[in-house]
Amino acid sequence: MDKKKFAFFYGIILIAVGLGVIYRIPEVMLKVEEIEFFAKKLLLLKICFYILAGMLMIAGGIRIFKSHKS
């Protein structure tokens, strides 16, 4: 597999992982609420998870864009 195809498929995988993180956030937050330490920091934790998902999807989009551009 050449480098261009690898970058394209890696970009798709990054986007899929980002979408998976978004899908799992509500389920994970229910379990995190049970931990006493994180009980007061749920909003911050949720924001961090969404930022992580966004960064994964942006990185995947950049990889796909650059693989098609060159």
What does the pLDDT read at residue 17?
Answer: 97
Please answer whether residues 16 and 64 qualify as being in contact, where contact means their C-beta atoms are separated by less than 8 angstroms.
no
Q: What is the pTM of this model?
A: 0.87
* Sites in the chain below the pLDDT cut of 50: none
DSSP-derived letter for residue 38 is G
Residue 68's pLDDT is: 85
Distance of CA 5 to the CA centre of its chain: 21
Task: State the pLDDT at residue 50.
Answer: 97
pLDDT at position 46: 94
CB atoms within 10 A of CB 14: 20
